[in-house]
A and B are shown apart, each in its own frame.
Chain A
Amino acid sequence: MSVIRVPEADAAGWRCAACDEPLVMRPVELEYLDALFNVELPTCPQCNRVFISEELALGKMHQVEQLLEDK
């Protein structure tokens, strides 16, 4: 499965507070209603916590959710 890159995933200025690590882009699996996507998202390299920006959640991600719900 190819990795999707989304400009909305930007995490400029944010770091993982628990690990005190800057976030790095890593492929992450996102799933909804039996659909699976491999998306490159800002992630803490130590604890693997994934950052989902407001723009991504309400933009592309919301669109895909709606689309899958109407499938």
Chain B
Amino acid sequence: MEQAELRAWEHKCIQEETPWCTAACPIHVDAREFCSLMAQRRWDKAWALLARTMPLPGVLARMCGGTCESACIRAQAGGAVGVSRLERFCADNSTHLPPPRPLPSRNKSVAVMGGGMTGLCAAWEMARRGFDVTLLCDAVGVGLRDLPDTVLPAGVLDREIASLRAMGVVIETGVQLSRSLIESLLEEKDAVFIDGNTVSEAGMLGEPDELTLGTRLAGLFASPADNAPPEFQAAAARRAANSVERFTQGVSMVSGRELEGPYQTRLFTSLTTVEPVAPVQGSSGWSEADARDEARRCLQCECMECVNVCEYLKHYKQYPKVYARRIYNNASIVMGTRQANTMINSCMLCGLCQAVCPEDFSMADLCLEARRSMVELGTMPPSTHEFALRDMAFANGDSCALARHAPAEDSSDYLFFPGCQLTASDPDGVHAAYADLRARLGRVGLMLRCCGAPAHWAGRQSLADQSLSILKGEWEQLGSPRIIAACPTCLKTLRQWLPDAEIVSHWSALRAMGLPGGARADGGTLTVGDPCSARHDTMLREDVRTLLDRLGVDTVEPELNGELAQCCGFGGLLAEANPELGQAVAQRRADELTKDFVTYCVMCRDRIARMGKRALHLYDLLYPGDGEPGSRPAPGYSDRRENRTRLCERLLRELWNTDQAEAEPHEAVQVAFTDEAARLMENRRILRSDVQKVLYHATRTGAQFVHDETDRLLASWRPSTVAYWVEYEPQNDGFMVHRAWCHRMRVRGGQS
């Protein structure tokens, strides 16, 4: 990723955008944080926050007109937060702070003319930045002296004037402005500022420039005579101080000033779950509890739309802008640990974040690109996707894959593509579905293989392309028939990578053909869960609901469904890269179900079933077996392979009178597992065939360890990259396996 790309990604995520209140405030007080502190009754902390941003805070906090309140989005849920009243409460109820310590002197002198609000604020802003400030005025505090105590209590103004002096401002009163005075000040000082609201003669200088407050005379700045509310006068003073700083430094007077004064923010905050709460009444005499309650009404605006709906984004505790930076940094590491590898490989690539993001941020695009780049650079951890890619290779191997016309046919009008996972989970359902399609549509060929999605998800595009080109070749050999795909991921993948093919979903086909003969019609009420791969396929989702309706199923829709469907944790190979998080993702989805679950993605079905929920795949109703639908277990990795192989063998034998290729020698090893061993193997991604290979080699070579007390044997074998260890005992004609483990590290010198 280039740095410019990172910037573009970061810009897209709006979580760090300024809240509306701060953007609308002419001097950008962090009202969100202020409210947070006030809600915790931390008055002194809240005051320190105001005093950091406000000039003459004792005065301004009491006089602020609350411009931010007109931008507050709480207005749509009970009324804007009364920030100006909170500021006054805070000023009245917190400990007075000493004035800020000015920056070291710049050895630049500025004259400020006019002792009204703008002039005082300008003197404050410039003194704070290290200018030597002389305030020249007729009288100090014009327009502020006569205010009633209820607005500005006695002593407050004098205290802030004392603060100005403490900050080094020299105050000269009784001075009258004249053209010659201005000219001599311009000679004497580095810059001059005139408070246009107080000094009526300022009018003779003409309207100051809106952006810089500059006048026709270089080095002379003035605020407009607009009698603006105090917070705008403070903003004019700050603008003048910025201009004086630029002027005395000799840098551009105009560039990069867009964020001075009120501006628009891009932040988004959803109000869908916000309950309306009315403002606390009254404007004075608030109790501490009143102030706290009013501050609590602040929504603490932020976006977090994607994080709120995604367990993955939540897990890493930040939001996409931060993740983009981490991913960029991860790729930049030359020596050291790449801390973000697991994060990059844990995204489900499901697209839910993009669907809810006001700015279309796609973690999927970001993470997939990062994975591809890691593969290209050779920095992808070898173990992350290896098991899934081996499974893909197995599904495409001789024992599972086939591509044929229907029995006794030499052409195909259609090609049934059930997908390798449906075949792995419900081989009988696939068998029945293929029989049904042949019976009703005639010349329907069959292709059993993987669509290539795992390679695509793993960032191994050349492997995906290679797999796809074989698939394409076989499809063309069969005469490029229309494809009927049952798996929504296959459907999506094939449509993307095989644009020449006409592809329909099995569900569309069934909607047109009518229900198969043996379909059950006792569905009851079920929660219909769309898989993430159907997010952008409205037709597919409608077809499924039509079928469920015809099956007599009353459907309940979960909150996040359809275009906002959640992944089950299989997508993007999350469950391989980060099994615990994969589990949490499936658990969250299962927890949200109010009724038994029905879906049309077999991975969703199996993963929800594993969470202990009754879960059905549509095939369980359309092509039911003998058992209670939904009671079919979610097969483990070894059984999934076995199911594919057995289905392929069965179809070849029954339909095409062909025997499968010879079994490999290790497949003859008879092996049984304790429950504990089966559980360990599933978690550790150890297959029955891996164990059979170990035992086959151990019995041939005699290379084993034996335990003195238990008499159990222990052997190991490394078929390729992983060494497997099996603890077992002989039993009848075979072996009972008690434990199994594996590692990738190799003993040098040949031991497998």
Q: Which residue numbers of A lie inside 8 Å of B, CB to CB?
A: 11, 13-18, 23, 28-33, 36, 47-52, 54, 57-58, 61-62, 64-67, 69-71
Instruction: Using A18-B703, A52-B723, A58-B741 as known contacts, list a sample of 10 further A-B pairs with CB atoms less than 8 Å apart, ordered by residue number in A.
Output: A11-B705, A13-B707, A23-B705, A30-B747, A31-B745, A32-B745, A57-B743, A58-B684, A58-B743, A70-B338
**Nearest CB to that of A57 among chain B residues?**
B743
Does B748 lie at the interface of the complex (its beta carbon under 8 Å from any beta carbon of A)? yes
The secondary-structure label for the interface of chain B is: loop
B708:A29 contact, CB within 8 angstroms: no
Q: What residues of A have a CB within 8 angstroms of the CB of B727 in the complex?
A: 54
A61:B743 contact, CB within 8 angstroms: yes
CA distance A36 to B748 in the complex (A): 9
Q: What residues of B have a CB within 8 angstroms of the CB of A18 in the complex?
A: 702-704
Partner of A14, one of B337, B338, B714, B744: B714
Nearest chain A CB to B141's CB is how many angstroms away?
Answer: 64
B746:A49 contact, CB within 8 angstroms: no
Given known pairs A17-B713, A36-B748, A70-B381, the reply for A49 and B703 (CB within 8 Å) is yes
Nearest chain A CB to B333's CB is how many angstroms away?
Answer: 9
A69:B705 contact, CB within 8 angstroms: no
Q: What residues of A have a CB within 8 angstroms of the CB of B338 in the complex?
A: 70-71
Partner of A69, one of B381, B703, B708: B381
CA distance A14 to B727 in the complex (A): 11
Does B709 lie at the interface of the complex (its beta carbon under 8 Å from any beta carbon of A)? yes
CA distance A16 to B744 in the complex (A): 22
Closest 10 A-B residue pairs measured CB to CB? A69-B381, A29-B748, A17-B706, A57-B743, A17-B704, A32-B745, A54-B741, A14-B705, A18-B702, A57-B741
Q: What residues of A have a CB within 8 angstroms of the CB of B751 in the complex?
A: 48-50
A28:B703 contact, CB within 8 angstroms: no
B725:A71 contact, CB within 8 angstroms: no
Q: Which of A11, A33, A57 has the most CB of B within 10 A?
A: A57
Q: Which of A28, A36, A52 has the most CB of B within 10 A?
A: A52
CA distance A57 to B739 in the complex (A): 13
A31:B746 contact, CB within 8 angstroms: yes
Given known pairs A14-B707, A49-B703, the reply for A70 and B714 (CB within 8 Å) is no
Q: What residues of A have a CB within 8 angstroms of the CB of B382 in the complex?
A: 33, 69
**Nearest CB to that of A11 among chain B residues?**
B705
- Inter-chain contact count A-B, CB under 8 Å? 91
Task: Offer 16 A-B interface pairs, CB within 8 angstroms, sorted by A.
Answer: A13-B709, A14-B706, A14-B708, A15-B705, A15-B706, A15-B708, A17-B713, A31-B748, A50-B747, A51-B714, A52-B723, A57-B725, A66-B383, A69-B382, A69-B384, A70-B339
Q: What residues of A have a CB within 8 angstroms of the CB of B743 in the complex?
A: 52, 57-58, 61-62, 65
Does B341 lie at the interface of the complex (its beta carbon under 8 Å from any beta carbon of A)? yes
Nearest chain A CB to B153's CB is how many angstroms away?
Answer: 62
**Nearest CB to that of A67 among chain B residues?**
B337
CA distance A15 to B713 in the complex (A): 10
Does B742 lie at the interface of the complex (its beta carbon under 8 Å from any beta carbon of A)? yes
Q: Which of B339, B714, B727, B746 has the most CB of A within 10 A?
A: B714
Q: What residues of B have a CB within 8 angstroms of the CB of A66 in the complex?
A: 381, 383
**Nearest CB to that of B680 among chain A residues?**
A54
Does B612 lie at the interface of the complex (its beta carbon under 8 Å from any beta carbon of A)? no
Nearest chain A CB to B639's CB is how many angstroms away?
Answer: 23
Contact with A along B375-388 (1 / 0, CB 8 A): 00000011110000
Q: Which residue numbers of B lie inside 8 Å of A, CB to CB?
A: 336-339, 341, 381-384, 684, 702-710, 713-714, 716, 723, 725, 727, 739, 741-749, 751
B708:A52 contact, CB within 8 angstroms: no
B739:A29 contact, CB within 8 angstroms: no
Q: What residues of B have a CB within 8 angstroms of the CB of A16 in the complex?
A: 705-706
Nearest chain A CB to B491's CB is how many angstroms away?
Answer: 34
Q: What residues of B have a CB within 8 angstroms of the CB of A70 in the complex?
A: 337-339, 341, 381
**Nearest CB to that of B751 among chain A residues?**
A50
CA distance A45 to B162 in the complex (A): 89
CA distance A54 to B336 in the complex (A): 29
Q: What residues of A have a CB within 8 angstroms of the CB of B337 in the complex?
A: 67, 70-71
CA distance A64 to B382 in the complex (A): 13
Nearest chain B CB to A50's CB is how many angstroms away?
Answer: 5
Q: What residues of B have a CB within 8 angstroms of the CB of A23 in the complex?
A: 705
CA distance A23 to B713 in the complex (A): 14
Given known pairs A17-B704, A17-B706, A57-B725, the reply for A69 and B745 (CB within 8 Å) is no
A64:B725 contact, CB within 8 angstroms: no
Nearest chain B CB to A7's CB is how many angstroms away?
Answer: 17
Q: What residues of A have a CB within 8 angstroms of the CB of B341 in the complex?
A: 69-70
B747:A51 contact, CB within 8 angstroms: no
Nearest chain B CB to A66's CB is how many angstroms away?
Answer: 8
Q: What residues of A have a CB within 8 angstroms of the CB of B713 in the complex?
A: 17
B746:A30 contact, CB within 8 angstroms: yes
A65:B705 contact, CB within 8 angstroms: no
A54:B703 contact, CB within 8 angstroms: no
Q: Which of A11, A18, A47, A51 has the most CB of B within 10 A?
A: A18
**Nearest CB to that of A33 among chain B residues?**
B382
**Nearest CB to that of A56 among chain B residues?**
B743
B702:A17 contact, CB within 8 angstroms: yes
**Nearest CB to that of B745 among chain A residues?**
A32
Nearest chain A CB to B674's CB is how many angstroms away?
Answer: 14
CA distance A17 to B743 in the complex (A): 22
CA distance A17 to B708 in the complex (A): 10
A71:B336 contact, CB within 8 angstroms: yes
Given known pairs A16-B705, A54-B741, the reply for A65 and B383 (CB within 8 Å) is yes
CA distance A69 to B379 in the complex (A): 8
CA distance A50 to B725 in the complex (A): 12
B739:A54 contact, CB within 8 angstroms: yes
Q: What residues of B have a CB within 8 angstroms of the CB of A13 in the complex?
A: 707-710
Partner of A29, one of B702, B742, B749: B749
Nearest chain B CB to A4's CB is how many angstroms away?
Answer: 12
